[in-house]
Structure formats: C-alpha cells, structure tokens
C-alpha cells in the first residue's frame, strides 16, 4: 500500500499533461494516424528535395519538385474537399495511405535497381501531393465532427503540434538516411510508415463503423457541390480574410521551405545531416505554441494570433536567409516555428467554426486551394534564385507579403476587433 500514493501521483500527473481533446476515443485513434501521416509528409519533403538536388544540381529542379507536390491542392483542393463531403471520411483516409504506400514503394524499387529517372520522381511526388490535398480536407473535417465547437481549435492545435513535432523527427531521420547515400533506403522507410498508417486508419474505421456517414448530399452533383463551396468565402468575411492571408503566405513566404537544401548547401555550407537538423528546428517552436494552444486556445484572441504569426514568419524568413552562421540560423528557425505555430494553429479553426457543419470539408478544400498556391511561388523562387540568388529573392518576396497582408487587414477594420463564439 505504500506505493499507492506514488502511483496516484503519477496517474494524476499524466492526466494533467494529457490534452483534454484526447479523451474522445475516436479522435485519439485519428491522432495516432496523424502522427504517422505527418511523419511521412515531412520525411518525403526533405528526402525529395535533397535527392532531386543531387540528381540535377539545380535549384530550379528542386522548385519543380515542390511544384509537383503542391499543385494538386491548388487545382483540385475544392474538388477533393467535395469528395470528402460525399464519402465516409475513413474510406477516403485509407485510400490516401494506400496511394502513399504504392508511390513510396515504387520509388524505393526504382532507386534500388538504378532505373530511376527524374520524371518518375516528379510523377510519384505528384501522386503524394494529391494524397496530401485529400487528407488535408478530410482529416480536419473529421476532427471538427468529433469535437464540440469550443474544442475544435484545441484539437487542431494538437494536430499542428503533432505535425511540427514529426517535422523534427522526420527531418532528422531523413538526414541520417540520406547521409548513407542510399535513397532506396529512405523511400523504403517511407513505405513502411504508410503501411503502418493503413493499419491505424483501419482501427479508426472499426471504431466508427457503427456510425453512418454524416454526408447527406451524396445525390447532389459534383459541380453543384463545388459551386456551394465557392460561395462560402464570398458570404463569410472572416473566411475570406483567412483565405486571402493564407494565399499570400503560401505564394510568397512558405516556398522558402523548398529552398532549405539550397540554403543549407550554398549559404551555410552544411551536409544532409545538418540540413535535417535545420529543416526540423522550426518544429521546436511550433510544438511550444501548440502545447499552449491545445489547452488555452479558448482564452486567446484567435484572429490577432493568426495575423501576428503571419507577420512574424515573414520577418524571420528574411533573417534566416541573411544569416551565414548555422547556429544562428538554427535559432532563427525555432523562432520562425513559434510564429508558424501561431499562424497554423488558428488557420483552420477560424474557418471551421464559422461555416455550417455540412460544408466543413468543402471549406477545408478552399483552404487547401489557398495553401496550394505555393507551387507558383516555389517555381518563381527557384527561377529567381538561380538568377539573383536565394537571399535577394526570399527577402523581396517576404517584404511583398508583408505589404499585401497589411492591405488585406486595412480593408476590413473589424477583422481584428470582432469576436466570434469560438473566441
């Protein structure tokens, strides 16, 4: 009996550290799937960027790889969101994992046999990008369905924290495996992660299989569903503002992430292991923010935090490309992650809590399209970096983003002062 008080103390301590949103059994299983999927997502970004750079030696080719990954979100984001509103969420998630497993296994075989060509890498990256666009809308709509409105932002903050935490681990693992000089090993690991996630989604589906699909608009034609989704932004000012700021950030600021291999090799003169550390450093800051928001999202001014995060990311990106010292760049990435966590943690929640339940996946499809504008920024940043260098290019794009966001906020003076029910 002497150990009983100690066990009770440990139990209470663990309970106090566990986010309340994990008390929902179905969401807990969905979160387990998220951990695996976010690992795969960030692992593939670092791996593909370095592999393409080694194959071609061209920053433009790295930009094309990023374009292939993100263009599906821009072109088909709303369509994928509409599909997610018409089918059972878990079936859609399972399909995404199967596609990822097939694409990564194909690349592993191609690299292992020495039969790989650049076009094949681009094709598989595009398939993975289609999966990401579909998962983005589906997973966030399902999160909103599993929680009360006041808990949605907290759950999304936990997702953001999980995503950034996996970014650290995935970038480090990718750097270590790339250091072996065997891309086949990297893509083999990616295939294993996707296979494990297939099992995780099947467990989630069993948990929810007694619940009939929530989608009641299966008979509505796809074009009509897409049209309904497009009206969301036009009739909801807060959704429109979030989408516009997201568009600017992903077109002009976040494309810097695709240039991290170039920043590491050409500006900081480091190898793949240090690149892995640098690429994952912003996850440290995002985890800190996510941990706070998971418990206290209902106490903060969500719109103000969203805007502050956007401006902060834009400023710290400039600092990052000016730096020539790895330690300083690493610290800057952490600070950048703090701001990115504020921006990303509020982004989806501000939209989900201001649209009708049956339109949530389509609203996430609109957000996916705004995020999907990044391919054009990625191509531009790659082309211009080849001409004038990454420092001048990224600095100029970030300053333009700051100016455009100031205009967006100025045209709606109530955006930062209004309070919604979720705040």
pLDDT of residue 157: 77
Question: What gap in Å lies between CA 192 and CA 108, rounded to an integer?
Answer: 11
pLDDT of residue 220: 47
Do residues 285 and 340 lie in contact, with contact meaning Cβ atoms separated by under 8 Å? yes
pLDDT of residue 393: 93
Alpha-carbon dihedral angle through residues 370, 374, 375, 380, given to the nearest 10 degrees: 130
pLDDT of residue 217: 42
pTM here is 0.74
Number of Cβ within 10 Å of residue 33's Cβ equals: 24
Question: What gap in Å lies between CA 267 and CA 346, rounded to an integer?
Answer: 33
The tokens for 415 are 């955006």
Give the CA distances from residue 274 to residues 55, 185, 261, 302, in Å, rounded to whole numbers and listed in that order.
20, 19, 10, 35
Question: What gap in Å lies between CA 423 and CA 418, rounded to an integer?
Answer: 10
First to last CA, the chain: 46
What is the DSSP code (8-state) at residue 116?
A: -
User: 318-328 b/e with 16+ CB inside 10 Å = b?
Assistant: bbbbebeebee
Mean pLDDT (10-residue bins), the chain, 423 residues:
50 55 86 92 90 84 82 77 76 93 95 92 93 87 80 79 80 85 90 96 84 46 57 76 93 87 86 82 83 70 89 96 92 92 84 76 79 80 84 94 94 70 52
The tokens for 76 are 């088909």
pLDDT of residue 296: 66
pLDDT of residue 395: 94
Give the CA distances from residue 59 to residues 87, 277, 389, 392, in Å, rounded to whole numbers and listed in that order.
40, 20, 10, 15
pLDDT of residue 234: 65
Which is nearest to 39 in space by CA: 168, 182, 156?
168
Do residues 139 and 34 lie in contact, with contact meaning Cβ atoms separated by under 8 Å? yes
pLDDT of residue 219: 45
User: 147-165 b/e with 16+ CB inside 10 Å = b?
Assistant: beeebbbbbbbbbbbbbbb
Task: Please tell me whether residue 25 adopts helix, strand or coil conformation.
Answer: helix
What the chain holds in terms of domains, given with CATH numbers, is: 24-208+221-410 (1.20.1250.20)
Task: Please tell me whether residue 235 adopts helix, strand or coil conformation.
Answer: helix
Question: What gap in Å lies between CA 311 and CA 401, rounded to an integer?
Answer: 9
pLDDT of residue 225: 54
Task: Determine phi and psi for 221, rounding to 5 degrees.
Answer: -65, 150
């Amino acid at each position: 009996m002497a150990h009983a008080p100690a066990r009770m103390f440990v139990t209470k301590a663990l309970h106090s550290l566990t986010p309340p949103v994990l008390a929902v059994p179905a969401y807990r299983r969905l979160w387990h799937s998220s951990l695996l999927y976010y690992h795969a997502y960030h692992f593939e970004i670092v791996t593909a960027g370095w592999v393409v750079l080694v194959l071609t030696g061209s920053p433009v080719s790295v930009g094309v790889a990023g374009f292939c990954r993100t263009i599906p979100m821009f072109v088909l984001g709303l369509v994928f969101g509409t599909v997610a509103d018409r089918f059972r969420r878990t079936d859609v998630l399972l399909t995404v994992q199967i596609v990822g497993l097939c694409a990564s296994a194909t690349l592993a075989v191609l690299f292992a046999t020495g039969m790989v060509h650049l076009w094949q890498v681009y094709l598989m990256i595009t398939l993975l990008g289609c999966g990401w666009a579909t998962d983005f809308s589906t997973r966030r709509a399902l999160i909103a369905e599993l929680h009360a409105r006041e808990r949605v932002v907290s759950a999304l903050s936990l997702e953001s924290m999980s995503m950034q935490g996996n970014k650290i681990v995935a970038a480090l693992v990718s750097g270590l495996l790339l250091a072996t000089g065997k891309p086949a090993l990297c893509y083999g690991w990616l295939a294993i992660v996707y296979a494990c996630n297939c099992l995780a989604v099947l467990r989630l589906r069993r948990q929810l299989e007694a619940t009939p699909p929530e989608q009641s608009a299966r008979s509505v034609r796809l074009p009509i569903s897409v049209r309904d989704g497009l009206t969301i932004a036009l009739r909801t000012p807060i959704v429109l503002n979030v989408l516009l700021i997201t568009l600017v950030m992903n077109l002009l600021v976040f494309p810097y992430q695709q240039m991290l291999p170039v920043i590491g090799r050409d500006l900081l003169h480091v190898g793949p292991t240090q690149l892995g550390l640098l690429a994952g450093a912003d996850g440290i800051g995002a985890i800190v923010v996510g941990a706070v928001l998971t418990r206290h999202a209902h106490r903060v001014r969500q719109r103000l935090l969203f805007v502050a995060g956007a401006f902060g990311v834009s400023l710290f990106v400039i600092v990052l490309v000016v730096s020539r010292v790895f330690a300083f760049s690493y610290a800057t990435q952490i600070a950048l992650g703090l701001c990115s966590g504020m921006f990303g943690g509020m982004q989806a929640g501000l939209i989900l809590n201001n649209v009708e339940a049956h339109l949530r996946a389509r609203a996430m499809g609109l957000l996916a399209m705004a995020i999907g504008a990044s391919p054009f920024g990625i191509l531009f940043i790659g082309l211009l970096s080849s001409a004038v260098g990454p420092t001048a290019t990224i600095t100029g794009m970030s300053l333009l983003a700051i100016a455009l966001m100031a205009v967006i906020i100025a045209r709606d003076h109530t955006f930062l002062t209004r309070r919604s029910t979720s705040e």
